[in-house]
Amino acid sequence: MLSFKKLNSLNVKVITHLKEKLWLKIFVGMLAGIFTGILLGSDLSLVNRNIAQLTTSWLVIPGLIFINLLQMIMVPLIFSSIILGICSAENIENVKKLGIGTLIYFVFTTFIAVTIGIALSLWLEPGKSTTQIKNTLNSNIPSATEIPTLDKYPELFMSFFPKNPFLSITQGEMLNVIVFSILLGIAILSVSKDLSKPILEILNSVFQISMKIVNWAMALTPFAVFGLMAKAISSIGVELLVTLGVYMSVVLLGLVSILGVYSIILIFLAKRNPIGFFSKIAGLQLLAFSTSSSAAVMPVSIQTATENLGVKKISRSLSFPSELRSIWTGPLFTKQLRQFF
């Protein structure tokens, strides 16, 4: 009887912990998804292939709904958040100083990521692996965006400024939306408070409503991660994952190295404890790993920065390009590995 009480108490503690810790729920969902994917995959051949595909097509539905919800709310959330953040600054000079510092930080961290990719490739030489791995890598991993040549940079720079911002908003062209939001935020900051107050109140309502939808989407997170992982593992197969083990190990080592660089920045520049910082964004990192969607993670990044890290509005707003930068940094890092693979 005593053992039953202890077991019941343990169950209560586990359930309570799961309810309080988002990262733990995501982690459990990820493990369950991997296990389910292995059972439904062709490696074990426990389930008929057609039945397995039908099952995973249903299991992945919460994940697709989750991603669609976040992509749906991404534009109004980012648009309102950037403008509100810029307007929270006392003057344009504060925006300018923080903007320059943010740009320098992004360029520095991107350079570090590329350097780590090249260094690991030359040191570990993953290209000595088998031809099967190379063929698998080339056929299953999407290629990074082609780096433009020097004569294309003027055209690339001009593409940042939208001719029709409303068309960019409807098409979800995030870089154009961010540039338009920054310019509009600076313009609103430049006018009198009597003129800016009504539109800021509307934008604040848009932001709060958008965050509410993000919270609704977060309720689906464990089920979304479970379905997405089950679908991915059952489609790829354990054998393929083992085949890509060399490449994946080098990528993971590179990510750990980048994590170390961020830890140094946190200690010496931000004066924050890296362990405490990373524990607060653990759920976000697991979500990014399991969904592989920058668009899906971006609204959750805003929520995490606001609720978990207490980031100021102005800092949060000018850091949004880091989400787009991550789209560049990731392919640049992995592209260095693939050049030597």
154-199, pLDDT tens digit by residue?
777 787 788 888 888 788 788 888 889 989 999 999 998 899 999 9
- Coil/strand/helix, residue 211: helix
Per-residue confidence at 232, pLDDT binned at 50, 70, 90? confident
Tell me how far apart the alpha carbons of residues 73 and 182 are, in angstroms, rounded to a whole number.
19
57 domain-assigned: no
pLDDT for 12 equals 45
Q: Give Dmax (Cα) for the chain.
A: 78
258 in Cβ contact with 113 (< 8 Å) = yes
Mean pLDDT of 121-132: 63
pLDDT for 26 equals 85
CATH number at residue 89: 1.10.3860.10
Per-residue confidence at 209, pLDDT binned at 50, 70, 90? very high
Would you say the pTM of this structure is higher than 0.85? no
pLDDT tens digits, 31-62: 999 899 999 987 777 888 899 899 999 999 99
C-alpha distances (whole Å) from 39 to each of 206, 235, 284 are 44, 11, 27
Tell me how far apart the alpha carbons of residues 197 and 179 are, in angstroms, rounded to a whole number.
22
Mean pLDDT of 116-126: 76
3 domain-assigned: no
- Total Cβ atoms within 10 A of residue 75: 20
Per-residue confidence at 305, pLDDT binned at 50, 70, 90? confident
Strand locations in the chain (E): none
- Coil/strand/helix, residue 129: coil
pLDDT for 65 equals 93
Cα 69 to chain centroid distance, Å, stands at 15
Write the CB contacts of 165 (distance below 8 Å, at least 6 apart in sequence). 176, 177, 180
Tell me how far apart the alpha carbons of residues 145 and 330 are, in angstroms, rounded to a whole number.
10
263 domain-assigned: yes
- Whether the per-residue pLDDT at 277 is higher than 70: the answer is yes
296 in Cβ contact with 70 (< 8 Å) = yes
Tell me how far apart the alpha carbons of residues 145 and 333 are, in angstroms, rounded to a whole number.
12
Q: What is the 3-state secondary structure (H, E, C) of 25-77?
A: HHHHHHHHHHHHHHHHCCCCCCCCHHHHHHHHHHHCHHHHHHHHHHHHHHHHH
93 domain-assigned: yes
26 in Cβ contact with 281 (< 8 Å) = no
196 in Cβ contact with 189 (< 8 Å) = yes
151 domain-assigned: yes
Mean pLDDT of 103-126: 78
Per-chain mean pLDDT for the chain: 78
Residues spanned by the domain of 87: 65-220+237-339
| Paired tokens of 102 | 């943010």
Q: What is the 3-state secondary structure (H, E, C) of 315-332?
A: HHHHCCHHHHHHHHHHHH
Per-residue confidence at 322, pLDDT binned at 50, 70, 90? low
- Whether the per-residue pLDDT at 279 is higher than 90: the answer is no
- Coil/strand/helix, residue 173: coil
For residue 277, give the nearest of 285, 261, 266 by alpha carbon: 266
- Coil/strand/helix, residue 23: helix
- Whether the per-residue pLDDT at 329 is higher than 80: the answer is no
Name the most confidently modeled range: 53-57, 95-99, 218-222: 53-57
Share of the chain above pLDDT 90, in %: 19
Residue bearing the bigger pLDDT, 220 or 128? 220
156 domain-assigned: yes
Residue bearing the bigger pLDDT, 110 or 61? 61
Write the CB contacts of 298 (distance below 8 Å, at least 6 apart in sequence). 70, 74, 78, 174, 320, 323
- Whether the per-residue pLDDT at 289 is higher than 70: the answer is yes
pLDDT for 11 equals 44
33 domain-assigned: no
Q: Out of 67-76, 151-160, 322-331, which region has the weakest mean confidence (pLDDT)?
A: 322-331
Task: Report the domain count for the chain.
Answer: 1
